[in-house]
């Protein structure tokens, strides 16, 4: 069992974790979640012994082996296979000693221990783990220095999994993985024989792997049983209880304040009033859920263009003389929501860059609407933001000629209002930087949004806000992501990038997962004229229905907003009439000339209009809920 008792951590004068306590059951799989900046990575580093707490203690069974991935990716001339084998330090030491020792008794002990730790199966286990994370036979034996940083981080993950520590600490392990590798990792972790503590923002990953959720918020830790969906239900119940308790406390506070105000001046009741004053001072405020404006995503809608936006006709694309993708036949319409599927390295980013006109076709034809504007998001844009400049400076530089109000309005769409707009980028969290990059690429209301792994730095709540914003957006979307929940909620059309080309995949995300998990590793690539579960489904009709639902949702949201505005106006008008009726001297000019009979008539008409606006708002809201369901 891992026990955290009264843990306090301060960084830069700010308390990140405040007197937090939690008892984690043995052999459990725990998902550590919380908002960006809540202190999740800090807590993991604390448990790993990389930093020290300012207070409290951590207790775990004596002799427990911890496993944690360092931030630096491994490098050098060693191969991924050798690096993973070396991660089992006991096996490596025993194997080395067996080669140099000439003591027969010691050799006997060594071989007995090697049998006990199943050392002879280690090479096949190492190869299996590497294969699951996307390394084929040839890649497993290449030098580490020939791989990108993301692939070398996969090697670090493979080495950690191979070493089978008693406490496995994983901080967003899926960030460098494609969907196929994420599915393999899920399966591996489900049968892991020891305790796991992992930080993740992926709803499906948490639901499929963990059996407890450890929620870090406001510096405190709360342990919930079950996966993420169950945590959401339990948290909602807890918040409802807190809201009820807060309302009761507020009523009690008002009652005490009223008693004190009435009885403090009287000699006969002064003591009772003082007693109530002490009781009031002891009332501790009850925390409640804060509506966070930083969860703001609002993509500006473009003007309409005639379809198609882009057509590819037997196009080829690559970076040298040899194309990476060939025989590309693809049509992209203004209402398309496309998810690009396939392993990393198969060409998803290459296809995205072709659609963004960053690459030109080597052969064939690509035709794009001359008036089309494209917004292209990649992680490189987040990394290339100037740390010394503010969001306001970044946006002003790109929106040349725009008024200060227009610049601030675009920043406000993505949660950068007030002081946030003038905070240096270097002081923003990873999620805030990602929001800023999205704000920058959508400043001209693009007709096509191309998003390459947009969720890597976003927590669960921010991802939900992004999903809502994408569903409200009226332009076309092409997305690369390993977050299944994101793809399921936003994509109407799947395109599989594999074997040097890209083709429509006529099935759902679940169908694609079925292909990936099939025994035949090539199943997902062997032509996809028909996918399991697609029988009886007309894909074109489905896409049209999805687009109609999206358009209907946008219309209803506009209607609900208009009704909300009208409700506010009519409520204010009704208040003005009531004030004028009871105090004619305070009446507004428009009401001052009316007699009481006319004012009563005006009040009745306003009340009737208010009821109609309320009915319209309720109807739009209920219809929106039906679409969401």
CATH code at 137? 3.40.50.300
Which pLDDT does position 339 carry in this prediction?
A: 94
Which pLDDT does position 279 carry in this prediction?
A: 63
Domain count, the chain: 4
Residues 264 and 373 in one domain: no
Residues 442 and 328 in one domain: yes
Residues 335 and 409 in one domain: yes
Residue 334 has pLDDT above 80, yes or no: yes
Residues 73 and 171 in one domain: yes
Name the pLDDT band for 285 (thresholds 50, 70, 90).
Answer: low
Which pLDDT does position 468 carry in this prediction?
A: 85
Mean pLDDT over the full length of the chain: 84
Which pLDDT does position 269 carry in this prediction?
A: 65
- Assigned domain for 151 exists: yes
Among 97-111, 235-249, 292-306, the range scoring the smallest mean pLDDT is 235-249
Tokens of 324: 């990476």
Residues 217 and 149 in one domain: yes
Which pLDDT does position 271 carry in this prediction?
A: 64
Q: Are 490 and 470 in contact (CB under 8 A)?
A: yes
Which pLDDT does position 541 carry in this prediction?
A: 61
Q: Any alpha helices (H) in 442-480, and if so which ranges?
A: 460-472
CB atoms within 10 A of CB 607: 14
Residues 492 and 569 in one domain: no
Among 41-45, 131-135, 488-492, 493-497, the range scoring the smallest mean pLDDT is 488-492
Residue 7 has pLDDT above 60, yes or no: yes
Domain containing 584 equals: 549-628
Which pLDDT does position 550 carry in this prediction?
A: 64
Mean pLDDT of 320-349: 92
Which pLDDT does position 551 carry in this prediction?
A: 67
Maximum Cα–Cα distance across the chain = 115
- Assigned domain for 76 exists: yes
Task: Quick: pLDDT tens for 510-569.
Answer: 888 888 877 444 434 434 444 334 444 455 565 556 666 666 766 777 777 777 778 778
Identify any residues that bridge with 520 across adjacent strands, giving them in sequence order. none
Residues 14 and 72 in one domain: yes
Q: Are 436 and 385 in contact (CB under 8 A)?
A: yes
Residue 329 has pLDDT above 90, yes or no: yes
Residues 396 and 326 in one domain: yes
Residues 143 and 180 in one domain: yes
- Assigned domain for 530 exists: no
Residues contacting 576, CB < 8 A, separation 6+: 587, 588, 591
Task: Quick: pLDDT tens for 23-59.
Answer: 999 899 999 999 887 889 899 999 998 999 999 999 9
Residue of 75 and 338 predicted with greater confidence: 338
Which pLDDT does position 536 carry in this prediction?
A: 42
Residues 223 and 266 in one domain: no
Locate the DSSP E strands across 253-384: 310-318, 323-332, 337-341, 363-368, 374-377
Q: Using a pLDDT cut of 90, give the percent of the chain over it.
A: 43
Mean pLDDT of 313-336: 92
Residues 497 and 570 in one domain: no
Name the pLDDT band for 208 (thresholds 50, 70, 90).
Answer: very high
- Assigned domain for 558 exists: yes
Which pLDDT does position 428 carry in this prediction?
A: 86
What is the DSSP secondary-structure string of 328-366? EEEEE-TT-EEEEES-TTSSHHHHHHHHTTSS--SEEEE
Q: Are 356 and 393 in contact (CB under 8 A)?
A: no
Q: Using a pLDDT cut of 70, give the percent of the chain over it.
A: 87
- Assigned domain for 527 exists: no
Residues 335 and 272 in one domain: no
Task: Quick: pLDDT tens for 438-485.
Answer: 999 999 999 999 999 998 888 888 888 898 889 889 999 999 999 998
Identify any residues that bridge with 197 across adjacent strands, giving them in sequence order. 30, 169
- Assigned domain for 44 exists: yes
- Assigned domain for 482 exists: yes
């Amino acid at each position: 069992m891992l026990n955290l008792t009264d843990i306090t951590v301060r960084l830069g004068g700010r308390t990140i974790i405040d007197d937090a306590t939690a008892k984690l059951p043995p052999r459990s799989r725990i998902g550590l979640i919380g908002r960006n900046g809540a202190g999740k990575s800090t807590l993991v580093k604390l448990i790993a012994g990389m930093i020290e707490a300012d207070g409290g203690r951590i207790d775990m069974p004596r002799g427990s082996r911890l496993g944690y991935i360092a931030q630096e990716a491994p490098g050098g001339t060693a191969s991924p296979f050798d690096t993973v084998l070396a991660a089992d330090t006991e096996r490596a030491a025993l194997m080395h000693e067996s080669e140099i020792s000439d003591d027969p008794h010691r050799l006997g002990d060594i071989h007995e221990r090697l049998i006990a730790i199943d050392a002879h199966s280690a090479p096949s286990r190492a190869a299996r783990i590497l294969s699951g994370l996307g390394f084929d036979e040839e890649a497993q034996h290449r030098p580490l220095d020939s791989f990108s940083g993301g692939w070398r981080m996969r090697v670090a993950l493979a080495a950690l999994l191979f070493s089978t520590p008693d406490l496995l600490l994983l901080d967003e392990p899926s960030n460098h993985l494609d969907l196929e590798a994420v599915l393999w990792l899920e399966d591996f972790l489900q049968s892991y024989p020891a305790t796991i503590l992992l930080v993740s923002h992926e709803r499906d990953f948490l639901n499929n792997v963990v059996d407890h959720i450890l929620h870090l918020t406001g510096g405190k830790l709360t342990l919930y049983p079950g996966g993420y969906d169950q945590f959401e239900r339990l948290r909602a119940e807890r918040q409802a209880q807190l809201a009820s308790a807060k309302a009761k406390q507020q009523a009690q506070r008002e009652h005490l304040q009223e008693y004190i105000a009435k009885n403090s001046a009287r000699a006969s009741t002064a003591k009772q009033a003082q007693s109530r004053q002490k009781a009031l001072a002891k009332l501790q405020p009850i925390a409640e859920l804060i509506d966070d404006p930083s969860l703001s995503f609002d993509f500006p809608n473009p003007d309409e263009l005639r379809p198609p936006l882009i057509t590819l006709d037997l196009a080829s694309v690559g970076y040298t003389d040899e194309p990476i993708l060939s025989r590309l036949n693809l049509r992209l319409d203004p209402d398309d929501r496309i998810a690009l599927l396939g392993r990393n390295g198969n060409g998803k980013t290459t296809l995205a860059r072709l659609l963004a006109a960053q690459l030109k076709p080597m052969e064939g034809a690509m035709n794009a609407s001359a008036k089309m504007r494209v917004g292209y998001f990649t992680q490189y844009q987040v990394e290339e933001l100037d740390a010394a400049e503010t969001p306001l400076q970044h946006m002003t530089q790109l929106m040349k000629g725009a008024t200060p109000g227009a610049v601030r309005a675009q920043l406000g769409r993505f949660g950068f209002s007030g002081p946030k707009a003038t905070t240096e980028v270097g002081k923003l969290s990873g999620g805030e930087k990602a929001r800023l990059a999205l704000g920058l690429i959508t400043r001209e209301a693009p007709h096509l949004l191309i998003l390459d792994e947009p969720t890597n730095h976003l927590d669960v709540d921010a991802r939900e806000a992004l999903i809502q914003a994408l569903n409200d957006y009226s332009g076309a979307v092409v997305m690369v992501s390993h977050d299944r929940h994101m793809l399921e909620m936003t994509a109407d059309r799947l395109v599989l990038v594999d074997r040097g080309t890209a083709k429509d995949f006529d099935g759902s995300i679940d169908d694609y997962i079925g292909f990936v998990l099939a025994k035949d590793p090539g199943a997902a690539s062997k032509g996809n004229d028909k996918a399991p579960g697609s029988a009886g489904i007309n894909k074109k009709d489905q896409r049209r229905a999805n687009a109609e639902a999206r358009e209907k949702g946008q219309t209803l949201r506009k209607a609900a907003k208009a009704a909300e505005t009208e409700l506010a106006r009519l409520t204010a008008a009704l208040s003005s009439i009531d004030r004028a009726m009871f105090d004619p001297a305070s009446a507004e000019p428009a009401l001052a000339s009316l007699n009481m009979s006319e004012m009563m008539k005006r009040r009745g008409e306003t009340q009737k209009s208010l009821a109609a606006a309320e009915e319209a708002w309720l109807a739009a809201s209920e219809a929106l809920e039906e679409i969401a369901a």
